[in-house]
Amino acid sequence: MDQIALHETLGLPPNRPMVLTDLSVVLWGQDLIFNGRCDTVTFQLVLLDCREARWQFYAHLQPDIRPAFPPAELVNLSLGRDQHRSPLRLLTDYFGLVASYGTLCIEKPG
């Protein structure tokens, strides 16, 4: 599943900008919960049982006001394969993440 498939899973038209708005780190990074939105639709991208995560942060973006989580536009996404077979690769305008995970859930809060 990639970014287009994520749009389809959420019932959204393709090529609409998606923004990640928040991140919850559980058990020191074993679980990562990203909150996001696309237009008026909110969603969660949940990675459970992470065994390895590599972050890259982009220093060229320095907002005047430094919120904990400025909205990060999703630029590219490859969800990889569960059970640690192939890592997720996520790229935003603020950071990049490569993570090996056990289970991936995409949730649309009701």
- Map out the domains of the chain as residue ranges: 3-107
Query: Each residue of 26-55: pLDDT tens digit?
Result: 999 999 999 999 989 999 999 999 999 999
Task: Return the closest-CA partner of residue 96 out of 109, 82, 78.
Answer: 78
C-alpha of 88 from chain center: 9
Average pLDDT along the chain: 90
Query: Each residue of 52-104: pLDDT tens digit?
Result: 999 998 866 666 776 777 889 999 999 999 999 999 999 999 999 999 999 99
First-to-final CA distance of the chain: 22
Q: What is the dihedral of CA 45, 78, 28, 104, to 10 degrees?
A: 50
When comparing pLDDT for 27 and 109, which is higher? 27
Q: What 8-state DSSP symbol labels residue 7?
A: H
Q: What is the pLDDT of residue 63?
A: 65
